[in-house]
Amino acid sequence: MRIVAVTSCPTGIAHTYMAAEALEEAARAAGDTIEVETQGAAGMTKLAADTIAAADVVVLAADVEVRERERFSGKPTVEVAVSTAINSAAAVLEEARSKMASSVPAEPAPRSATPPVTPLAAAGFGSRLRQWLMTGVSYMIPFVAAGGILIAVSFIIAGPQVAMAVNGGVFHGVHYPGATSITAIYHTAGIGGVLFEIGGIAFSMLVPILAGFIAYGMADRQGLVPGVIGGLIAVDVHAGFLGGIIAGLLAGAVVRLILKVPVPRVISGMMPIVVVPLISATVVGVLMLLVIGNPVSFVMTEITNWLNGLSGANAIGLGALLGLMMAFDMGGPVNKVAYTFAVAGLASGGIGGQKVMAAVMAAGMVPPLALALATVLRRGLFSDAERKAGEAAWLLGASFITEGAIPFAAADPLRVIPSIMAGSAVTGALSMAFAASSPAPHGGIWVVGLLGHWPLWILSIAAGTVVGSACVIALKSLRRSVPAPAPVVSLQEVANA
């Protein structure tokens, strides 16, 4: 049995190390291999990612929170009090052994889903990729929740015109000058405007935090600088959260490459503080600005032109298409193209623009709602973090904050994005078919009183939410239930090991 363990106690000077020693002794006696990370006051030598990946089971002997425990997600894990590990380390290892045996069938799903050429390596990379993404997502979720709820509350307090009151613009024929500076917002737009601004600032950090902590998951602290910088550039080049994922993965990979280069001792002390941040930020920044930025803005321009040419087409088809776009990247460039198209239509006046606006708003509300519903209907398909994000997603979705779906999409894009696209397409098409109309560019359920045909508009949202939710559940269940023969293979591997 290959074990990785973390020991940790309140003061970090005694029990942490006693537990480590006790576990190591017990493992030696039982013929197991173990590596212990002591999260104590004597500094901590972190377990290598490869070691964790190769481990059969994780033992957490801790009386305080284990730092960076997401590294171990997906592994069979035994958690005990630190004194239990000291007093009865052998029993703890026995528990780990039975935990390992009983949870063998849980993990190999991705393994059998891939062709049997190099199944082990493929599964290893797939699950590591998922862990990197989850690391980024778990740090991003609090920003989504804080920012999204602040924006929703600002709409409740100050009404649908709050965005215009802060940023300036025309709403309902009224011209808002906007706040002249960030300190003038309270006088211009009141407390609602202040909350809107704070929420917007929290949202502006989503992509940098996502990118930074994806890189952190791959390359540890060293990844943070190029990841955050890459994420900020992704925002600036309008590459949205998909650009952020690319930036994070790029940053992590670059840092890992740099760390592979052998350096003389004199330089090695400067590596983490000067050399690695400088080189990695330069490489990631140049790639994001010069290589990735242009294609993305090109694609955006193309999409805008294409969409404008399409506006005369069948209204229901247009609604479905806008729905697909709203859900495709949840606040990213494609979503923004569809949204901008609707707002532009609204500004041009006439009921046609208002219908498009209603369809786009409804479609943008569906992704978080569909995922929130899915977490309620089938809790077992989602991680703890996702279920928490699901609770927030109700309010975010109701407030037309499509970004509420990002945590789910970033963790499992291939299943989540097609599902919510389907749901939003249904909603967009229905809203157009019902001829619902919205004079408000934002606000979700809070501006429902302003809408034309609003009961049917809500019906269209409900329909899309159910469709999207059903798709997510179906796709995720498919993954879990496919690999029936896999446990047999895995048990044999364990026996041979």
Partner 1 sequence: MPELIEESMVVLDLAADDKDAAVRVLAERLAAAGRVTDVEQFLADVRAREQVMATGLEGGIGIPHARSIAVTAASLAFGRSPARVDFGASDGPADLIFLIAAPAEGGAEHMTILASLARRLVHGSFRESLRSLSGAAEVAALINREVGA
Size of the site for partner 1 (CB under 8 A): 22
Listed ranges 33-41, 331-339, 406-414, 484-492: which one lies at the site for partner 1 (CB under 8 A) = 33-41
Nearer to partner 1, 38 or 490 (CB): 38
CA 468, CA 463: separation in Å to the nearest integer? Answer: 9
Measure CA of the first residue to CA of the last residue in the chain; give whole Å. Answer: 8
| Shortest distance (Å) from residue 93 CB to partner 1 | 15
Q: H or E segment at 152?
A: helix 119-158
Positions 58 through 77 that interact with partner 1 (CB under 8 A): 63
Contacts of 289 (CB under 8 A, 6+ apart): 233, 237
| Shortest distance (Å) from residue 61 CB to partner 1 | 13
Cβ atoms within 10 Å of 480's Cβ, excluding its own: 11
396 CB burial (10 A radius; 0-12, 13-18, 19+): buried
Task: Find the Cα–Cα–Cα–Cα dihedral 254, 257, 261, 265, rounded to 10°.
Answer: 60
With CB under 8 A as the contact rule, the residue among 4, 5, 6, 15 that binds partner 1 is: 15
CB 29 within 8 A of CB 50: no
With CB under 8 A as the contact rule, the residue among 6, 20, 245, 374 that binds partner 1 is: 20
Whether residue 9 lies in the annotated active site: yes
Nearer to partner 1, 13 or 286 (CB): 13
| Shortest distance (Å) from residue 17 CB to partner 1 | 4
Nearer to partner 1, 60 or 358 (CB): 60
With CB under 8 A as the contact rule, the residue among 1, 4, 5, 22 that binds partner 1 is: 22
Closest by Cα among 375, 370, 380 to 467: 370
Nearer to partner 1, 87 or 188 (CB): 87
* Interaction between residue 427 and partner 1 (CB under 8 A): no
| Shortest distance (Å) from residue 43 CB to partner 1 | 6
**If you ran DSSP here, which 8-state letter would residue 10 be given?**
S
With CB under 8 A as the contact rule, the residue among 1, 3, 6, 16 that binds partner 1 is: 16
Which residue type occupies 32? D
With CB under 8 A as the contact rule, the residue among 1, 3, 5, 18 that binds partner 1 is: 18
Q: Please list, residue by residue across 325-345, b when 16 or more beta carbons sit within 10 angstroms of its beta carbon and e when fewer do.
A: bbbbbbbbbbbbbbbebbbeb
Positions 381 through 420 that interact with partner 1 (CB under 8 A): none
| Shortest distance (Å) from residue 44 CB to partner 1 | 11
| Shortest distance (Å) from residue 59 CB to partner 1 | 16
With CB under 8 A as the contact rule, the residue among 3, 8, 17, 364 that binds partner 1 is: 17
Dihedral sign (CA 85, 124, 404, 464): negative
Nearer to partner 1, 61 or 426 (CB): 61
CA 102, CA 85: separation in Å to the nearest integer? Answer: 21
Each residue 34-63 as x (binds partner 1 by CB under 8 A) or -, in order, gives: ----x-xxxx-------------------x
Collapsed DSSP state (helix, strand, coil) of residue 347: helix
CA 127, CA 301: separation in Å to the nearest integer? Answer: 35
* Interaction between residue 8 and partner 1 (CB under 8 A): no
Contacts of 87 (CB under 8 A, 6+ apart): 22
Give the residues across from 57 on adjacent strands.
3
| Shortest distance (Å) from residue 86 CB to partner 1 | 6
* Interaction between residue 151 and partner 1 (CB under 8 A): no
| Shortest distance (Å) from residue 68 CB to partner 1 | 20
CB 371 within 8 A of CB 390: yes
Instruction: Characterize the bridge pairing of strands 33-38 and 2-8.
Output: parallel
* Interaction between residue 13 and partner 1 (CB under 8 A): yes
Nearer to partner 1, 17 or 341 (CB): 17
Nearer to partner 1, 83 or 188 (CB): 83
**If you ran DSSP here, which 8-state letter would residue 2 be given?**
E
Nearer to partner 1, 16 or 460 (CB): 16
Which residue type occupies 30? A
CA 241, CA 415: separation in Å to the nearest integer? Answer: 17
Nearer to partner 1, 63 or 107 (CB): 63
Which of 4, 9, 281, 422 is labelled catalytic? Answer: 9
Closest by Cα among 408, 415, 410 to 482: 415
Each residue 80-119 as x (binds partner 1 by CB under 8 A) or -, in order, gives: ---x--xxx-------------------------------
| Shortest distance (Å) from residue 115 CB to partner 1 | 47
| Shortest distance (Å) from residue 84 CB to partner 1 | 10
CB 404 within 8 A of CB 325: no
Nearer to partner 1, 38 or 460 (CB): 38
Listed ranges 12-20, 52-60, 217-225, 458-466: which one lies at the site for partner 1 (CB under 8 A) = 12-20
What are the helix (H) ranges across 168-292?
Answer: 185-204, 206-219, 224-236, 240-260, 265-268, 276-286
CA 196, CA 91: separation in Å to the nearest integer? Answer: 54
* Interaction between residue 21 and partner 1 (CB under 8 A): yes
Residues of the shown chain interacting with partner 1 in the complex, contacts defined by CB under 8 A: 10-11, 13-18, 20-22, 25, 38, 40-43, 63, 83, 86-88
Catalytic residues, by residue number, are 9
